[in-house]
Amino acid sequence: MTNIDDNVLTQLPEIKLDIMGTFQTIKFVNETDKIKGLEPLVNANFYQLFPHFNESKTILFPNNRLFSTVGLENENNEIIGGIQGIPDALLISCDVYNKNSSPLQINLIEYECYGEQKTTASKKFNYLNGHIIPQLMRFASTFSIVTDTKIREKTIKEWTQKIMELLDEDQNTILKAFSWIREMYPETKEHQLSLKLHSLINSAFETNIRVLLIIDELTIEQKETIKNIIGAFKLNNNKDKDNSIRFNAYTIRLEQKICVTNKDAQYALSFQE
């Protein structure tokens, strides 16, 4: 959609925005509600919400039970080290022109929602600092050099293998991933595609990880604070390159239609009580 230039509005004051209707910003019930939950709604409409994530260059794994960070085990298979955590979704993105690190990026997605229950400032503050930030730190620390080497290597190995298994279960998805390999490394033989993909995914876990927070409310100051916290976790000791785990956050609002007057218009109004 093209922005209307301020100069045009000055010269032609009769021009106005054509509003399609009015909408009200309402609260999600919570994170997981099947009807009005943030996570299922975002997963179902992921590429419409985030068009900058090109569907042909990304693979989304929305099932949050598939990936779990691992801990150290003793001879009785009891966890004796490490803190387990499970991201809500995993997104692999491909940048065929990235020559500075792995062309694949692993995005660990965390869905959080204040919803209808956490409405006061104190509840939101406590939830952010007592749950959300520690959870994001657990993900970052698992893949950072600050954690135990065995825990990091074991998690990377298991997650890489799980991704390969999931890709093999869906022909369209594995063919998409193979197309990335052919574009980046056209000399790769057909029988080498799977091995090359496995290597790139493993490398991405070691060098190119981003934590993504998708939430219903977040201030600019809170976003910058979390970004600095996550950025303190390093993936390697290479001081010549940006070796930090990256962070980004997206605030999602649920809009309820009040009145639609013009379906062809490109603008809408929303209000929040």
pLDDT per residue as tens digits for the range 147-178? 888 889 999 999 999 999 999 999 999 999 99
Do the domain assignments include residue 192? yes
- In this structure, the chain runs to a length of 273
φ, ψ of residue 236 to 5 degrees: the values are: -160, 180
* CA separation for the pair 150, 257 (Å, rounded): 52
- Confidence at residue 223, expressed as pLDDT on a 0 to 100 scale: 97
Do the domain assignments include residue 236? yes
* CA separation for the pair 235, 207 (Å, rounded): 6
Q: 60 with 93: CB under 8 angstroms?
A: no
Q: Tokens 């996550």 correspond to what residue?
A: 230
Q: How many domains does the chain have?
A: 1
- Confidence at residue 69, expressed as pLDDT on a 0 to 100 scale: 67
Do the domain assignments include residue 240? yes
Question: Bridge-partner residues for 109, per DSSP?
Answer: 89, 212
- Whether 3 shows a pLDDT value over 60: the answer reads no
Do the domain assignments include residue 47? no
Do the domain assignments include residue 40? no
**Interval 93-110: pLDDT, tens:** 999 887 567 899 999 999
Do the domain assignments include residue 231? yes
Do the domain assignments include residue 259? no
How confident is the model over 255-271, as a mean pLDDT? 82
Q: 148 with 82: CB under 8 angstroms?
A: yes
Do the domain assignments include residue 32? no
- Confidence at residue 192, expressed as pLDDT on a 0 to 100 scale: 96
- Confidence at residue 167, expressed as pLDDT on a 0 to 100 scale: 96
- For the chain, strand residue ranges (E) read 19-26, 58-61, 72-73, 79-81, 89-94, 104-112, 209-215, 246-251, 254-260, 267-271
Alpha-carbon distance values, 235 to 34, 70, 101, 147 (Å): 36, 17, 12, 10
pLDDT band at 78 (very low <50, low <70, confident <90, very high): very low
Predicted TM-score (pTM) of the model is 0.86
pLDDT: which is higher, 121 or 239? 121
For 64, the domain range is 58-215+217-251
pLDDT: which is higher, 63 or 197? 197
